[in-house]
C-alpha cells in the first residue's frame, strides 16, 4: 500500500522512529520555571534590542526585546516577575546571544479570546499582529513569519508541513490530533493573508490519528495528503515535490514556484496571536529518551533552561548526550544550562550505553551516500574535495544545496560523519575561509539508530 502513497522521489532513508514513547501522550503544561533566560536572538535576522533593565517588573507577554528592523522579531517575557540579569548565552544551535533573565513573581495569566471576528481585520492588520507577537517559523528555520507570509509575488498554493519526519519528535502530531479545529482557524487566517488557490496539509502516514482529525475537521478548507514515511519528508523542497510534484530549482525559494510552506506549530502560534492577542512566549516541546521518567509533549515557556525542564521530567540516570531538536538535524548540547527557544521542538536525551562512538574508517566508495541523498548530491565526492581543502570544487558540485539532513552520514558503512564536514565547509565558505580538514572542528562520530 505504501507504494501508492505520495513521497519525494530521490533518495531518503527509513529511520527507526522512536515516536511510540510520546506519540499518544496528550499535551500538558510544563511547570512554570522559577527563572528564565530569554535570548534576544531566537530567529534568523537581527537580534531584538532590549527594552527592559535590571530591576524592571514584567508581566507574562510584556515586550522585553524590540525587533531591530523588519528582518528581526519581537521577544516577550514568558513569566511574570522581575528582570534580574542581562548577559550572554549560547542558544541550543550554538549561536551566541544576549539574554534577559527574569525571576518569577506574581500570577499566571489566563488568556481569553478577544478577536473571534478576526476576519474583519485586513490582510495588513493580520500581518502586523503576527509581527507584533514575535512569531517565527517554529519548524526550526525561525524565519520571521511576517516576512515569510508576505511573498513578493502572488502564490498558488499554501502547503502545510505536517510531516514531522525527525525520530522522537511528536509535538506537531499531537497538535494535529488535539487541536485540529484551532489549526483550521489558523489556516483560515493564512488563507486570508496569502489568498492561495489551493491548500494542502502533507502528513506522514505514521500519524493515523492526526490524519483522521484533520480530515474530520477540514470543513473543506484544505486537503490532507498522507505521505510515505521516509526521511527527510519534512524538508521544504522534499515536501513540495511529494505533494505537488514540483521541483524547486537549486538556489530558488518555494515562493518562486508559487508555494508558501507553513509549519504546524507556527500556525497554532498564529491562531493564538490573532484570536487571543497572545505573543509567542511558549511552545510545545517533546521530551523523550529511554532514560526520561516522564517523557511527553510539554507546553514550555521560552527561556526555560533545559536543566530545569529535564529536572521536571525526571531522568533515571545522568544523560551522556542531550540533543535539542531531533537526532538527525538537531544540535548536541555542551551544557544543559541552555534555554528553550522559539525553534526548540524537542529535547532528546541518551545514556552512555545508547550512544556508540565509532571511529571513522576510510571511504570504500560504496555509493550508498549518493543513493540516500534527497537532493541528488555526491556526498562522497564533496567529502573528498573537503579532505584536500578544495572547498570551491565541493561548492561547484552542489555543497550549498546540501540541506544538512544527515541521511548520508546515517547510511555510511564507514561511519564518516559526512554532514558535519558539510556544515563546517558551508560555514567556512560563508566566511570565505579556507581551512584544511584537520582544522575543521571535529565532532565525535555518533551513530544514530541501528537499522540501515
In angstroms, give the least distance from the CB of 50 to ligand SF4: 36
The 3-class SS string of the chain reads: CHHHCECCCCCCECCCCCCCCCCCCCEEECCCCCEEEEECCCCCCECCEECCCCCCEECCCCEEEECCCCCECCEECCCCEEEEEEEEEECCCCCEEEEEEEEECCCCCCCCCCCCCHHHCCHHHHHHHHHHCCCECCCCCCCEHHHHCCCCCCCCEEEEEECCCCCCCCHHHHHHHHCHHHHHHHHHHHHHHHCCCEEEEEEECCCHHHHHHHHHCCCCCCEEEEECCCECCCCHHHHHHHHHCCCCCCCCCHHHHCEEEEEHHHHHHHHHHHHHCCCCCEEEEEEECCCECCCEEEEEECCCEHHHHHHHHCECCCCCEEEECCCCCCEECCCCCCECCCCCCEEEEECCCCCEECCCCCCCCCCHHHHHCCCCCCHHHHHHHHHCCCHHHHHHCCHHHCCCCCHHHHHCCCCCCHHHHHHHHHHHHHCCCCCCHHHCCCCCCEECCCCC
3-state secondary structure of 11: coil
Please identify, using beta-carbon distances, which residue of 328 and 348 lies nearer to ligand SF4.
Answer: 328
Minimum CB distance to ligand SF4, residue 411 (Å): 6
Q: Which is nearer to ligand SF4, 255 or 410 (CB)?
A: 410
Residue 58 in contact with ligand SF4, rule: CB under 6 A: no
Choice from 16, 87, 249, 413 touching ligand SF4 (CB under 6 A): 413
**With binding defined as CB under 6 A, does residue 259 bind ligand SF4?**
no
Interface with ligand SF4, residue 380, by CB under 6 A = yes
Q: Confirm or reject binding of residue 328 to ligand SF4 (CB under 6 A).
A: no
Among 181, 208, 364, 433, binds ligand SF4 (CB under 6 A): 364
Least distance CB 425 / ligand SF4 (angstroms): 11
Q: Does residue 221 contact residue 184 with C-beta atoms inside 8 Å?
A: yes
Question: Please, what is the minimum distance in Å from the beta carbon of residue 129 to ligand SF4?
Answer: 36
261: Cβ contacts below 8 Å, ≥ 6 apart: 159, 160, 161, 236, 239, 240, 254
Residue 418 binds ligand SF4 (CB under 6 A): yes
Smallest gap from residue 399 Cβ to ligand SF4 (A)? 8
Q: How many residues does the chain have?
A: 452
* 412 contributes a contact to ligand SF4 by CB under 6 A: yes
Dist CA 375 CA 408 (whole Å): 11
User: What's the min distance (Å) between Cβ of 328 and ligand SF4?
Assistant: 9
Closest to ligand SF4 by CB, 347 vs 412, is 412
User: Can residue 165 be called a binding residue for ligand SF4 (CB under 6 A)?
Assistant: no
- Nearest-approach distance from CB 381 to ligand SF4, in angstroms: 9
**Piece in contact with ligand SF4 (CB under 6 A), picked from 42-50, 92-100, 418-426, 436-444:** 418-426
| The binder of ligand SF4 chosen from 126, 261, 372, 391 (CB under 6 A) | 372
* Interface stretch with ligand SF4, choices 178-186, 190-198, 280-288, 412-420 (CB under 6 A): 412-420
Main-chain dihedrals φ then ψ at residue 264, nearest 5 degrees: -60, -50
User: Taking the alpha carbons of 28, 449, 209, 182 in that order, is the dihedral positive or negative?
Assistant: positive
Site string for ligand SF4, 420-449 (x = CB under 6 A): --x---------------------------
Instruction: Give the cell for residue 232.
Output: 527527510
- Please report whether residue 386 would count as binding ligand SF4 according to CB under 6 A: no
Please report, as residue ranges, which positions from 276 to 315 form the binding site for ligand SF4 (by CB under 6 A). Answer: none
Min dist CB 236 to ligand SF4, Å, is: 13
Which residues in 391-410 contact ligand SF4 (CB under 6 A)? 402-408
Of 52, 187, 373, 391, the one binding ligand SF4 (CB under 6 A) is 373
Among 180, 328, 369, 440, binds ligand SF4 (CB under 6 A): 369
Q: Which of 202, 226, 234, 379 binds ligand SF4 (CB under 6 A)?
A: 379
The only residue of 363, 394, 425, 440 in contact with ligand SF4, by rule CB under 6 A: 363
- Residue nearer to ligand SF4 on the CB measure, 139 or 406: 406
Min CB(204)–ligand SF4 separation in Å: 18
Quick one: 41 or 385, whose CB is closer to ligand SF4? Answer: 385
Q: Rule CB under 6 A: which residues touch ligand SF4?
A: 363-369, 372-373, 375, 377, 379-380, 383, 402-408, 411-414, 416, 418-419, 422
Amino acid at each position: 500500500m505504501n507504494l501508492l502513497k505520495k513521497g519525494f522521489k530521490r533518495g531518503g532513508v527509513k529511520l527507526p522512529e522512536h515516536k511510540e514513547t510520546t506519540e499518544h501522550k496528550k499535551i500538558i503544561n510544563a511547570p512554570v520555571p522559577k527563572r528564565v533566560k530569554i535570548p534576544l536572538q531566537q530567529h534568523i535576522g537581527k537580534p531584538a534590542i532590549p527594552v527592559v533593565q535590571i530591576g524592571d517588573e514584567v508581566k507574562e507577554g510584556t515586550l522585553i526585546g524590540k525587533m531591530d528592523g523588519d528582518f528581526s522579531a519581537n521577544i516577550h517575557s514568558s513569566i511574570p516577575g522581575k528582570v534580574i540579569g542581562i548577559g550572554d548565552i549560547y542558544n541550543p544551535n550554538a549561536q551566541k546571544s544576549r539574554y534577559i533573565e527574569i525571576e518569577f513573581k506574581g500570577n499566571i495569566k489566563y488568556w481569553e479570546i478577544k478577536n473571534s471576528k478576526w476576519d474583519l481585520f485586513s490582510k495588513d492588520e493580520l500581518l502586523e499582529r503576527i509581527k507584533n507577537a514575535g512569531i517565527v517559523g517554529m519548524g526550526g528555520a525561525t524565519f520571521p513569519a511576517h516576512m515569510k507570509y508576505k511573498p513578493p509575488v502572488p502564490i498558488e498554493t499554501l502547503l502545510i508541513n505536517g510531516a514531522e519526519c525527525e525520530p522522537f519528535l511528536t509535538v506537531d502530531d499531537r497538535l494535529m490530533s488535539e487541536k485540529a479545529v484551532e489549526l483550521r482557524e489558523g489556516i483560515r487566517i493564512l488563507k486570508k493573508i496569502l489568498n492561495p488557490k489551493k491548500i494542502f496539509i502533507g502528513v506522514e502516514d505514521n500519524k493515523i490519528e492526526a490524519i483522521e482529525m484533520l480530515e474530520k475537521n477540514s470543513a473543506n478548507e484544505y486537503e490532507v495528503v498522507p505521505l510515505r514515511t521516509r526521511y527527510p519528508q519534512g524538508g521544504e523542497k522534499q515536501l513540495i515535490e511529494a505533494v505537488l510534484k514540483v521541483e524547486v530549482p537549486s538556489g530558488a525559494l518555494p515562493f518562486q514556484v508559487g508555494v508558501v510552506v507553513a509549519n504546524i506549530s507556527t500556525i497554532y502560534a498564529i491562531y493564538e496571536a490573532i484570536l487571543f492577542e497572545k505573543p509567542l512566549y511558549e511552545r510545545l516541546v517533546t521530551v523523550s529518551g529511554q532514560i526520561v521518567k516522564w517523557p511527553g509533549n510539554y507546553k514550555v515557556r521560552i527561556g526555560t533552561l533545559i536543566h530545569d525542564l529535564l529536572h521536571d521530567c525526571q531522568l533515571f540516570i545522568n544523560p551522556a548526550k542531550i540533543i535539542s531538536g531531533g537526532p538527525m538535524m538537531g544540535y548536541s548540547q555542551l551544557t544543559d544550562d541552555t534555554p528553550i527557544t522559539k525553534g526548540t521542538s524537542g529535547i532528546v536525551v541518551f545514556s552512555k550505553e545508547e550512544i556508540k562512538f565509532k571511529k571513522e574508517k576510510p571511504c570504500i566508495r560504496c555509493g550508498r551516500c549518493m543513493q540516500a541523498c534527497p537532493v541528488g548530491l555526491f556526498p562522497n565526492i564533496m567529502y573528498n574535495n573537503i579532505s584536500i581543502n578544495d572547498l570551491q570544487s565541493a561548492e561547484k558540485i552542489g555543497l550549498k544545496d546540501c540541506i544538512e539532513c544527515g541521511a548520508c552520514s546515517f547510511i555510511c558503512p564507514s561511519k564518516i560523519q559526512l554532514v558535519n564536514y558539510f556544515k563546517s565547509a558551508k560555514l567556512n565558505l560563508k566566511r570565505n575561509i579556507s581551512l584544511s580538514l584537520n582544522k575543521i572542528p571535529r565532532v565525535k562520530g555518533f551513530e544514530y539508530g541501528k537499522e540501515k
